[in-house]
Amino acid sequence: MTPEMAIEYLRLLITTSLLVTAPILIVAIVIGVVVSLIQAITSIQEATLSFAPKLLAVGAVVVVGAPWMIRELMEFTAFFLNRIAEMTG
């Protein structure tokens, strides 16, 4: 395996990881900001208040996006496993 191939595989790994986790992170950030704004407007400073909406939203995204996430991860895994001979030889 050449250094260029290793860098390309690493780039593909990082890209796939970011692509799969991005919806979850974006939803968590958006819900966190919205809850923080509501807390600031209403002067309710309860730390546990932001946990439940985030948990529910992230859970919903995982349930809805699971087929796509699994498909993406399976495609990456199949691609990677098909290239093992190139990597070891």
Q: What is the pLDDT of residues 19-30, one digit of tens each?
A: 999 999 999 999
DSSP annotation string for the chain = --HHHHHHHHHHHHHHHHHHHHHHHHHHHHHHHHHHHHHHHHT---GGGGHHHHHHHHHHHHHHHHHHHHHHHHHHHHHHHHTHHHHH-
Q: Which domain holds residue 36?
A: 3-88
**Mean pLDDT over the full length of the chain:** 91
User: How many domains does the chain contain in total?
Assistant: 1
pTM of this structure: 0.80
pLDDT of the residue at 43: 85
Read off the pLDDT of residues 65-74 as tens digits, 9 standing for 90 and up.
999 999 999 9
